[in-house]
A and B are shown apart, each in its own frame.
Chain A
Amino acid sequence: MTFQDKGIGEGKSGIDAGTEPAVRVEDLTVAYGDKPVLWDVDMEVQAGVLMAVIGPNGAGKTTLIKAIMGLVQPVAGYVSIFGKPYLDQRRLVGYVPQRNSVDWDFPTSVLDVVMMGRYGVLGWLRRPGRAERKAAMEALTKVGMADLAGRQISQLSGGQQQRVFLARALVQDARVYLMDEPFQGVDATTERAIVTLLKEMRSEGKTVVVVHHDLQTVPEYFDWVTLLNVRCVASGPVEEAFVDRNLRLTYGGRVSYLTHHTPEETFGTPEE
């Protein structure tokens, strides 16, 4: 459990934006029709942390990510990235959408998809060239997919698709990353590769917010956590927020996690 302490410590020193949180969400309310999906959510993500967003199905996890990015129009609320409105800071934010949000039968190759991460920096009129190709290959190497660069994307497994999306986000070279269920339906190898990558990103001072669904792995993978169920139940360092009481408030009585583990077993003792 030592990496948790290390991560929090680094988050404070590694970022030049002073004390501004990487992401600040204030009074965010989103509704589809008259049904609130997110209700008065306040949340702060300190720079340099690895944060999980957890909650039951329909809790609004994906909507939270999309609302932060302006992909969903909130009824009310305000989002800032390093102290400025999201729309002014879009370039600083990398996005890893859910794997099934695109048509993988699109006629293009792995390398091509990864290079799309550079399109924003390239700007209008300019075509991706040698520099973009190089950046994309480096990112693919990082996610262990370099040998599949030329592969048509419809031939990828679920885990490989996820890694392609991660590589595409990596070449953006953003400072904050928002990832929607990157562990959804991936094999064990990919899961390990992604966790390694996330920790690497944190050690480079990046801030990463991940929508996550596996409670068992929260303390192992992340150092901060937000518990969401339409409202924000709790948000903070894992050892403070990821406790029995909050989990019950978030999931109601349906937490199998609690019946198998006591908090002591899960977090270990600080002396260890």
Chain B
Amino acid sequence: MDIVGFVDNLFADYTLRQVAIGAAMLGIVNGVLGSFAVLRKQSLLGDGISHAALPGIALAFLLTGSKSSLALLLGAAATGWIATLLIMSIVKHTRVKYDTALGLVLSVFFGFGLVLLTYIQKLPVAAQAGLDKFLFGQAATLLRKDVVTIGVLGGIVLVFLLVFWKEFKLLSFDPDFAFSLGFPVRILDVLLTTLLVIAIVIGLQTVGVVLMSAMVVAPAAAARQWTDRLGVMVTVSGIFGALAGVSGALISSQAARIPTGPTIVLCASAIVMFSLLLAPNRGMAWGFVREQINRRQLQTDAVLGDLYVLANQHQEPGHGHPIEVLRTMAHGHGGVDRSLKVLKERGLVQEPGSGEWALTPLGMEEAGRLSRQWRETS
């Protein structure tokens, strides 16, 4: 299908539009909440919450017998939240470390969820069909009422975040100081974690429990590359989340039987890769470029210095020195030819004979200045 046809389709096709709107909203909410999770070094908590949600979904179905999204989400939130509290209390009351506690709780809850899911699938009722879509997510199953649920819950989460913005910021940066100012740090912590649980839960139907944590971590990690301000980071992270969600959901809905979760995660990964490489300041590409520029500058200065040393050893400053001598003096650092070319362009060196180089009067002056500078700083 060509792009124009696809865009036409997006506006004409009701289902596709539902999917796009739902994916955008869950992307925004998870990108925003994920920023706080990443900054509080709780990236893995998202993984624990989403995996632990599976038994909740299964239990909610068994108890109510319905697949109404609100019932399933409540179940998911309940077990996700219990798992979080369990992780926190294990860390607090035993000598088990955070990552171990998280791994334990995650696998136990997820295993239990799989057992329940297998049991449900053997039940002789038709209603169970599609519950396994919660594993890898299926955006095509989003109905209008699901999208409304995502919108309402996501909206509530964002409103809470805006209301307690300053407190959450302080909590994330320096919780001890927040306590010393009189803020109820533990309540704020539980509140922020609860918001994260809700954010994750509304994404489960689309993205699936297995890969949901990528929606929490990836947009935030990418956004951090682009800015040094919390507000901007959270906004950019929300936009990245929406971008990954929409593109992933739409791509998966174009081909039959591609689960949405993996497609969304691939889109999110592309955004992360792009940001890690190309973001200004923090991006690896810029670091590499800066390093190369510095290195070339140093090489050029070194060749100029070497010529200065040679010139001082001879009576006659215009006397040419073979390039091989300069290469030897550079100790194999290379870049001698390039440096000479650059220096010639700047009028600092001349080539009196083929392959022989000497400083110009201007070069002599510049080299002298550099050598004095080095002596002062070292």
The answer to whether residues A106 and B173 also contact, given A125-B163, A127-B166 and a CB cut-off of 8 A, is yes
**Cβ-based interface call for A193 (8 A):** no
CA distance A155 to B356 in the complex (A): 46
Stretch at the interface among A52-60, A90-98, A194-202: A90-98
**Residue from B173, B181, B229 in contact with A113 in the complex, judged by beta carbons closer than 8 Å:** B173
**Cβ-based interface call for B332 (8 A):** no
- On whether the beta carbons of A95 and B176 are closer than 8 Å, the reply is yes
- On whether the beta carbons of B174 and A107 are closer than 8 Å, the reply is no
User: Which residues of A sit under 8 angstroms from B166, Cβ to Cβ?
Assistant: 119, 122, 127-128
**Cβ-based interface call for A228 (8 A):** no
User: Which residues of A sit under 8 angstroms from B176, Cβ to Cβ?
Assistant: 66, 71, 95, 97, 101
**Residue from B164, B172, B227, B232 in contact with A106 in the complex, judged by beta carbons closer than 8 Å:** B172
CA distance A117 to B183 in the complex (A): 12
CA distance A69 to B176 in the complex (A): 9
**Cβ-based interface call for B160 (8 A):** no
- On whether the beta carbons of A107 and B228 are closer than 8 Å, the reply is yes
**Cβ-based interface call for A102 (8 A):** yes
**Residue from B41, B180, B229 in contact with A90 in the complex, judged by beta carbons closer than 8 Å:** B180
User: Which residues of B sit under 8 angstroms from A161, Cβ to Cβ?
Assistant: none
Residue of A nearest to B179 (CB): A71
The answer to whether residues A97 and B177 also contact, given A107-B233, A108-B230, A119-B170 and a CB cut-off of 8 A, is yes
- On whether the beta carbons of B177 and A116 are closer than 8 Å, the reply is yes
- On whether the beta carbons of B170 and A95 are closer than 8 Å, the reply is no
**Cβ-based interface call for B90 (8 A):** no
**Residue from B163, B167, B224, B227 in contact with A119 in the complex, judged by beta carbons closer than 8 Å:** B167
CA distance A79 to B28 in the complex (A): 46
CA distance A66 to B170 in the complex (A): 18
Query: Min CB distance, B222 to chain A, in Å?
Result: 13
**Cβ-based interface call for B39 (8 A):** yes
User: Which residues of A sit under 8 angstroms from B169, Cβ to Cβ?
Assistant: 108, 116
User: Which residues of B sit under 8 angstroms from A120, Cβ to Cβ?
Assistant: 181-183
Residue of B nearest to A172 (CB): B181
**Residue from B39, B163, B178, B182 in contact with A91 in the complex, judged by beta carbons closer than 8 Å:** B182
- On whether the beta carbons of A101 and B180 are closer than 8 Å, the reply is no
Query: Min CB distance, B203 to chain A, in Å?
Result: 24
Interface size on A, residues (CB 8 A): 31
- On whether the beta carbons of A152 and B182 are closer than 8 Å, the reply is no
Query: Min CB distance, B39 to chain A, in Å?
Result: 6
Interface residues on B, range: 20 to 34
CA distance A91 to B233 in the complex (A): 31
Residue of A nearest to B35 (CB): A107
Query: Min CB distance, A164 to chain B, in Å?
Result: 11
CA distance A128 to B165 in the complex (A): 11
CA distance A168 to B173 in the complex (A): 13
CA distance A13 to B12 in the complex (A): 80
Interface centre among B170, B173, B180, B181 (most CB of A within 10 A): B180
Residue of B nearest to A117 (CB): B181
Chain B 137-195 residues near chain A, CB threshold 8 A: 163-167, 169-170, 172-174, 176-183
1/0 contact trace for A46-70 toward B, CB 8 Å?
0000000000000000000010011
**Cβ-based interface call for A184 (8 A):** no
User: Which residues of B sit under 8 angstroms from A91, Cβ to Cβ?
Assistant: 181-182
Residue of B nearest to A168 (CB): B177
- On whether the beta carbons of A90 and B174 are closer than 8 Å, the reply is no
Interface centre among B164, B167, B177, B183 (most CB of A within 10 A): B177
- On whether the beta carbons of B224 and A95 are closer than 8 Å, the reply is no
User: Which residues of B sit under 8 angstroms from A125, Cβ to Cβ?
Assistant: 163
Chain A 88-146 residues near chain B, CB threshold 8 A: 90-91, 93-95, 97, 101-103, 106-109, 113, 116-117, 119-120, 122, 124-125, 127-128
**Residue from A90, A97, A116 in contact with B182 in the complex, judged by beta carbons closer than 8 Å:** A90
CA distance A172 to B176 in the complex (A): 15
User: Which residues of A sit under 8 angstroms from B172, Cβ to Cβ?
Assistant: 106
**Cβ-based interface call for A154 (8 A):** yes
CA distance A129 to B41 in the complex (A): 29
The answer to whether residues A116 and B170 also contact, given A95-B177, A107-B224 and a CB cut-off of 8 A, is yes
Residue of A nearest to B165 (CB): A127
- On whether the beta carbons of A70 and B179 are closer than 8 Å, the reply is yes
Query: Min CB distance, A107 to chain B, in Å?
Result: 5
User: Which residues of B sit under 8 angstroms from A172, Cβ to Cβ?
Assistant: 181
The answer to whether residues A119 and B181 also contact, given A97-B176, A101-B176, A106-B173 and a CB cut-off of 8 A, is yes
Not counting A101-B176, A108-B229, A119-B167, a sample of 20 additional A-B residue pairs whose C-beta atoms are within 8 angstroms of each other reads A90-B180, A93-B180, A94-B180, A95-B180, A97-B176, A101-B174, A106-B39, A106-B230, A107-B224, A107-B228, A107-B233, A108-B173, A109-B228, A116-B173, A119-B181, A119-B183, A120-B183, A127-B165, A127-B166, A168-B177
Contacts A/B (CB < 8 Å), 19 sampled: A69-B179, A69-B180, A71-B176, A93-B180, A95-B176, A97-B174, A97-B177, A102-B173, A103-B41, A106-B39, A107-B228, A107-B230, A108-B228, A108-B229, A113-B173, A116-B169, A119-B167, A119-B170, A120-B182
Residues of B participating in the A interface, judged by any CB pair closer than 8 Å: 39, 41, 163-167, 169-170, 172-174, 176-183, 224, 227-230, 232-233
Residues of A participating in the B interface, judged by any CB pair closer than 8 Å: 66, 69-71, 90-91, 93-95, 97, 101-103, 106-109, 113, 116-117, 119-120, 122, 124-125, 127-128, 152, 154, 168, 172
Give 4 closest A-B pairs by Cβ, nearest first: A120-B181, A95-B180, A152-B228, A90-B182
